[in-house]
Amino acid sequence: MPLLHQNVPSAGLAFVERGDADGTLFSGNGVSVHQRMDGGKDAPTPGTGDAGQGGKARQARESKPAGARVLLSAPDVGERERAALLAAFDSNWISTVGPAIGRFEEEMAARLGRPCVALSSGTAALHLALRLAGVEAGDTVICQSFTFVATANPILYERAIPYFVDSEPRTWNLDADLLEEAIRRLARRGKRPKAVVAVHLYGVPAEIERIAVVCAEHEIPLIEDAAEALGAEVDGLPVGTHGMAAAFSFNGNKIITTAGGGMLAVRTAAEAERVRKWSTQSREAVAHYEHTELGFNYRMSNLLAALGSAQLAGLEEKVARRRAIAARYREELQGLGVLDFQEAPTGRRATHWLSCALVQAGRRAGEAVGECRDALMAHLDAQGVESRPLWKPMHLQPLFRDAPRLGGAVSESLFAQGLCLPSSSALREAEQGAVIAAIQDFFGPRNRGSLAQLGRIGASVER
């Protein structure tokens, strides 16, 4: 198993400088978060203040506005959110201080069974998790390669060195065996990773118990990036409770949104207090402005926390809806024999933040799978349907070209073959029907020659 790019820089500084110069330290993940095309008025959704109007909601979902674009993941808000936001506004707590912040933290803590700190973004949460783990300049942090860049960027913020490890083909998340191998290889060079960052991508839980065991055996702090996975479970336990800290995101395209925001779940009240202090410029508890350690302006605003609480009250319905969307895609498209949908192994409850599939065959002899995936995306686009390729692995990103890594074939295949389909919890039945019909048409006799079936991903992947 080749270990490529073994030239580990002495510190992560070079990465940070390059990121700054290229302007690549962006936030948000590029998934569309446009307004609901109906302005949110005539599409009541269970759990958004329209609860109890299931019939009306269903009826509204059946009607598809002509000419509207079907988006990947749009905010799903209603009267409850509007009222909560306006109440916070009227209270004049228009600040990063206010009662709604503590309330939202407590509600998340009750759900997770861990103390929580409300922050300005999931990226900020990941950054402070690394600081909690004691990551400093020059340290190595093992990170899942197959993810959105926000998982890895905070490693550079601390001028540490990301070491990217490939995914396993079942959950598409961090491969526990490869993780162990990476730790062994680093040990042979006299190094010990300061932290491991594992992701629950697209809301499908990673094999986090195995990953946690590997980390515990080597006494390495485990950070869970659960940005896409609020509401997911592993054997009845919420994701975000297996490591030393877990980050959640509430940006505009997530399962619940605060427009922008994040939450860090930690193990103890003392850790939560440290994180809270760091997020408010590390101000000491005295009247004058006294600072003994570096701080950040990472606190969530009271207005957005109020929005967060209102959204959290509808989480179960939103997750149920995304899961139902994933199930319908699978049910109606699996029969084509061309698409292989991401599925959570038994005992795991995925949120299916986005419904994702791998294109397993070209439409005609000689058509590469990647070509076919791109043609499918172009076909969907022409029909007014938004889709995206799966995340481009970090080890393929120019930003991280010098970073060490282990494996890569699995995430490269996922990137080459995969796409995400519209998955908003406010997606109407008719809109999903239109997406399904467009895909059926694309793979139908009109558009296809003889299928050259490929094996399932992983079967043909050599690591």
Which of 102, 134, 204, 146 lies closest to 394 in space, CA to CA?
Answer: 146
Cβ atoms 198, 166 nearer than 8 A:
no
Cβ atoms 12, 155 nearer than 8 A:
yes
CA separation for the pair 10, 404 (Å, rounded): 12
What does the chain come to in residues? 463
Longest alpha-carbon distance in the chain: 75
Of the pair 253, 413, the CB lying nearest ligand PLP is at 253
**Pairing mode, strands 237-238 and 405-406:** unpaired
Of the pair 298, 442, the CB lying nearest ligand PLP is at 298
> Applying CB under 6 A, what is the total number of residues that bind ligand PLP?
17
Of the pair 150, 438, the CB lying nearest ligand PLP is at 150
Binding piece for ligand PLP, criterion CB under 6 A, among 47-55, 73-81, 225-233, 431-439: 225-233
Please enumerate in sequence order all residues whose Cβ is within 8 A of that of 445, keeping only pairs 6 or more positions apart, or say none: none
Q: How far is the CB of 60 from ligand PLP (least distance, A)?
A: 29
Among 33, 152, 222, 227, binds ligand PLP (CB under 6 A): 227
Q: Which residues, 2 to 61, sit near ligand PLP by CB under 6 A? A: 27-29
Among 15, 93, 146, 148, binds ligand PLP (CB under 6 A): 148
* Tokens representing residue 33 in the block: 């978060």
Per-residue DSSP letter, 283: B
CA distances from 408 to 1, 183, 253, 293 (A): 10, 16, 27, 39
Q: How far is the CB of 91 from ligand PLP (least distance, A)?
A: 25
CA separation for the pair 376, 379 (Å, rounded): 5
Interaction of residue 442 with ligand PLP, rule CB under 6 A? no
Per-residue DSSP letter, 357: E
Q: How far is the CB of 115 from ligand PLP (least distance, A)?
A: 19
Interaction of residue 150 with ligand PLP, rule CB under 6 A? yes
User: What is the CB neighbour count within 10 angstroms for residue 416?
Assistant: 19
Interaction of residue 397 with ligand PLP, rule CB under 6 A? no
What burial letters (b/e) apply to 350-388, b meaning 16+ CB within 10 Å?
bbbbbbbbbbbbbbeeebebbebbebbbebbeebbbbbb
Q: How far is the CB of 244 from ligand PLP (least distance, A)?
A: 17
Interaction of residue 173 with ligand PLP, rule CB under 6 A? no
Of the pair 390, 427, the CB lying nearest ligand PLP is at 390
Binding piece for ligand PLP, criterion CB under 6 A, among 221-229, 233-241, 265-273, 414-422: 221-229
Per-residue DSSP letter, 292: S
* Tokens representing residue 385 in the block: 């349907």
Q: Which residue is nearest to ligand PLP (CB)?
A: 122
Interaction of residue 423 with ligand PLP, rule CB under 6 A? no
Of the pair 247, 457, the CB lying nearest ligand PLP is at 247
Interaction of residue 121 with ligand PLP, rule CB under 6 A? yes
Interaction of residue 122 with ligand PLP, rule CB under 6 A? yes
Instruction: Provide the binding-site residues for ligand PLP, judged by CB under 6 A.
Output: 27-29, 121-123, 147-148, 150-151, 199, 225, 227-228, 249, 251, 262
